[in-house]
Amino acid sequence: MNFTRLALRSITGNSFRSWVVVLCAMLVAGLALATSLILRGAENSLRLTIDRLGADIIVVPQGAETKVESALLMSTPASIWMPDNVVGEIASVPGVAVVSPQLYLSSLENASCCSVSSMFLVAYDPATDFTIEPWLEKKIGSRLSLGEAVGGMHVFVPLGEENIKIYGYLISLKANLEPTGTGLDQTMFFTFETARDIARLSPTLAVKPLEIPLNSISAALVRVTPGVDPHEVALEIFRKVSGVTPLESPNLFLSYRKQMTGLLHSNLIVLGITWGLSLVLIGLVFSMAANERRRELGVLRALGATRDFVLRSLLMEAGILALIGGGVGVVLTTFVVILFRTRIIQSLSLPFIFPSILSLLVQVVAGLALALLSVALAALVPAYRISYQDPANAMRE
Amino acid sequence: MNKIAGVLIIILALVIGILPQFTDCQSQGKELTLTTGKTVPMKCHWTAIAEIGMAVPLIAQGIMLFLSKRKETRLALSVTNIILGIFVVLFPTWLIGVCANNMMLCNNLMKPTLILCGALVIVIGLITFIMAYRKVESVA
Amino acid sequence: MIVLDNITKDYVLTKESIVKAVKGVSLEIQRGEFVVVTGRSGSGKTTILNLMAGLTRPTSGRVLLDGVDLWSLSDKKQSWLRSQKFSFVFQFPSLIPTLTVMENIVLPVIFNKDHWNSDAASQRAGELLKMVGLEEKRTVYPRQLSAGQQQRIVIARALMNHPEVILADEPTSDLDEQTEGEIVDLFTQIHREEHVTIVMVTHTSQLAAYGTRSITMAMGEIVN
């Protein structure tokens, strides 16, 4: 017989109280972990995407900022155009090292000539590109030729086929990029030459032709000279080049960041309410239990238990229940977030990538700690009151 | 505890049987067109059908678990629940599968829900098994 | 051994209503005595017992245990004394319901860990269980025992730590006559064989004959 065994016996002997505390702890830990996982996941994803883009500044047509962000983050196809002479204008701005134009296209929706539906397609200029080509060199040791593409993590050749059909044109998938948790994972990248070839052949091969406006581009990726402040360069581009908006990488996806902040606030409110209610409920349940067990605790005091022993014993019971509930809560939450991550991304319209093992462990421990703290706090007052009661009074009817 | 387990199994069984009927591609109006021009259901539809085959015995198991008083019966029911739970998970993941495109409802809702429900059935089965086993041991 | 020096105990029910449970009682219990305290309900006899063991604080007066004022000690020291020197047999069922009979008997060991290892504790508990005649009940729970059997187990638990004093508060009040006789016989046997000082409170004046000394209380005072 020892202290821990006494606490465990008390837990199993009072199943209603134990279940209530376990459920509250589960809720608190689970909700806290879900909030932190989703928001950290979204933040990580945004950062990975910005790293993937590799650009210090993305220049887009004025007014198209939101469309571009949606395209990059959620693979919502965007049809945005600006004259291709802006490339030369941007290149002449002091501090600009490289300018690489891109075309944003989209496959047809549910068309028989496409083996994918409404996929976001990005065409790049291999002569100036500084994101895809270097990665390709490292990964497959070669560049993309005509009719070849590289895809995000979720781009794949349909079962039973050897190529992906876009506007009736057969594309060979050479490699898949690492996941970002954003729309880039469902995006296909090929060269300007391939895009123009698709457009040229689409009137005969596709149910609807691919139209690329003449002398137009969708966006220009800018890398600044090392040591130069990208913000200053962005301001210069804004002043000197008309009809465009330069988006600095750190400021990219501001609307999504605002959305995340909004989500964080509302989640924190829900978490706060749940936490408060749980504290009250656990406090009530412990008060009831402590009252019911007045005599039993009085007997323990008579047998030689100190006040401190009774207090520690009650807090240990609370702690064990918190750990059980919190443990189940974090495991269940992790499991659910892993299983339903695509659904979560779609429902919240936010990107998401699962954190590293270390980051996950930290968040799990934080969730558990919150559950433990909550239950201990809630149980403290009734436990203190009962442990400091006169044993003779405690044992009276 | 066993009554609660029985009720939970019944609820999970209902989800396992009913949810796929509304989340497979067939219910979304999507079918596979063969080269002959004929349309056939996608494999997620067959997974949905198979899960009905799991849900019905699970409901019966849940009812029996709710009503049973003998520890030996509960032991047997727990084992069969675990096996059924395993198959609930295997149908959408390995035995038949669902569509590969993760943007489709069968992939991002039906499959994870079935995995979660199957896992919960297995966990409940394990818990009821352990409880029944301990009771049988102590009586012996 | 135990000295109550001009003890009073008041219970404050409301600002206007104070119950004087014990009024200026002085009493000395010598080592080896079997003292039976009798009196009607509300005479203060249970309060006297609680005061002796430090389970309730006196309003005035002193409680001395082997010359030491109990209330000059810290809670830790008092609790230690309670675990070492005293044992209790209460009127109400005082076994812990979530522990088996065996676990209830060895429970006092938690507060006395320096003196016990688990093998010695199990052995002692087994001997006590045999002494009270309930060996076959070691793994059952209190709810599966009769009131008389529960009291026997409580007595076994009371002897676990080799106490110097057993304080019994109306240990037979919920029992039938035959069982009452068995329990009091058990106390007599313990007094004789274990040389334990016993203070037993009862409202049954016939039980006074079992003790080496008898005290009668009424309205918070010793009358006899």
Least confident of A347-356, C42-51, C54-63: A347-356
Q: Do C79 and A391 touch (CB under 8 A)?
A: no
* β-strand pairing of C197-202 with C34-39: parallel
Closest chain C C-alpha to A283 CA, distance in angstroms: 22
What is the rounded (10 degree) CA torsion for A246, A251, A254, A260?
160
Phi, psi of C53 (to 5 degrees): -95, 0
The region of weakest confidence among A235-239, B125-129, C125-129, C203-207 is C203-207
AA identity, residue A339? L
Q: Are C128 and C182 in contact, with CB atoms under 8 Å apart? A: no
Q: Judge contact between A179 and A185, C-beta under 8 A.
A: yes
Structure ipTM: 0.89
Is residue A292 less than 8 Å (CB to CB) from chain C?
Answer: no
Would you call A164 exposed, middle or buried from its count of C-beta atoms within 10 A (0-12, 13-18, 19+)? buried
In angstroms, the Cα distances linking B132 to A145, B3, B122 are 66, 13, 15
Q: Say if CB C160 and CB C112 are below 8 A apart.
A: no
User: What does DSSP say about strands C86-89 and B32-33: parallel, antiparallel, or unpaired?
Assistant: unpaired
A339 to chain C, any CB pair closer than 8 A? The answer is no
CB spacing of A299 vs C121 below 8 angstroms: no
Dump pLDDT digits (tens) for C181-198: 888 888 888 888 888 899
Is the alpha carbon torsion for A8, A12, A14, A20 positive or negative? positive
Closest alpha carbon to A115 in A157, A84, A67: A157
Q: Chain A contacts of B103, Cβ < 8 Å? A: 154, 186, 342, 346
CA distance A201 to A204: 6
d(CA C116, CA C161): 9
Tokens 């960041």 belong to which residue? A257
According to the model, what pLDDT value does residue A91 have?
93
Taking an 8 Å cut-off on Cβ atoms, the answer to whether C92 and A3 are in contact is no
By DSSP bridging, strand A169-176 and strand A164-166 are antiparallel
Cβ-Cβ contacts under 8 Å between A and C: the total is 82
Give contacts of B 59-118 with A, CB under 8 A: 100-103, 107-109, 112-113, 115-116
Q: Indicate the DSSP class of residue B110.
A: I
* Cα gap C8→A385, rounded to integer Å: 25
> What's the angle, vertex CA B82, arms to CA B79 and CA B87, rounded to 5?
130
The residues with which C28 forms a beta bridge, in sequence order, are C3
Chain A nearest C-alpha distance from B110 (Å): 10
In 3D, which of A19, A245, A258, A220 has the Cα closest to residue A131? A220
- The answer to whether the beta carbons of residues C186 and C7 sit under 8 Å apart is no
Residue A397's pLDDT is what?
59
Which strand (E) or helix (H) includes residue C95?
A: none
Give the mean pLDDT of chain B. Answer: 90
Q: How far apart are CA C218 and CA C22, in angstroms?
A: 9
User: What is the rounded CA–CA span in Å between residue B129 and residue B64?
Assistant: 14
Q: Which residue has the tokens 């799990």?
A: A364
* Measured distance CA(C2)–CA(C68) in Å, rounded: 9
Q: Tell whether B34 lies on the interface with A, counting CB pairs under 8 A.
A: no
The residue-averaged pLDDT of C154-171 equals 89
Alpha-carbon gap, residue C216 to C208, rounded angstroms = 9
Put simply, the answer to whether A342 touches B102 (Cβ < 8 Å) is yes
Q: What is the pLDDT of residue A209?
A: 87
Q: Report the alpha-carbon distance of residue C52 to residue C58 in Å, rounded.
A: 10
Instruction: Give every CB contact of residue C71 below 8 A, 6+ residues apart in sequence.
Output: C54, C57, C58, C62, C63
Closest CA to C74 of C66, A385, C18, C82: C82
Q: Are residues A7 and A313 in contact, defined by beta-carbon separation less than 8 angstroms? A: yes
The percent of residues in chain B predicted with pLDDT above 70, rounded, is 96
Give the residue with greater pLDDT, A12 vs B17.
B17
Q: Name the residue of chain B whose CA is nearest to A185's CA.
A: B102
Q: Is the pLDDT of residue B54 over 90?
A: yes
Tens of each residue's pLDDT in chain A, 397 residues: 677 888 888 888 777 888 888 988 898 899 889 888 888 888 887 777 777 777 889 999 998 888 888 887 777 877 889 998 999 999 999 999 999 999 999 887 766 667 677 788 999 999 999 888 887 887 778 888 999 999 888 888 887 788 898 888 999 998 888 777 778 888 899 999 999 999 999 898 888 888 888 899 999 999 999 889 989 999 999 999 999 999 887 777 776 777 777 877 888 888 888 888 888 888 888 888 888 888 888 888 888 888 998 899 888 988 999 999 999 999 999 999 989 988 887 787 777 778 888 988 999 999 999 889 888 888 888 888 888 888 888 887 5
Is C219 a residue whose pLDDT tops 90? Answer: no
Q: For domain C34-56+75-222, give the fold.
A: Rossmann fold (3.40.50)
Alpha carbon of residue C37 to chain centroid: 12
| CA–CA dist C159, B51 (Å, integer) | 63
| CA A55 – CA A122 distance, rounded (Å) | 15
Say yes or no: C59 contacts chain A, CB-CB below 8 A.
Answer: no
User: Chain A within 8 Å of C88 (Cβ-Cβ)?
Assistant: yes
What residue ranges do the domains of chain C occupy? 34-56+75-222
User: Residue B114: its pLDDT value, please?
Assistant: 96
One-letter amino acid at B18 equals I
Q: Which are the contacts of A151, defined by CB distance < 8 A and separation ≥ 6? A: A173, A175, A176, A177, A187, A188, A189
Give the strand pairing for C2-12 and C18-29: antiparallel
User: pLDDT value at position B137?
Assistant: 61
Written as six digits, the tokens of A344 are 């979560």
Residues in a beta bridge with C222: C217
Separation of alpha carbons B139 and B136, rounded Å: 5
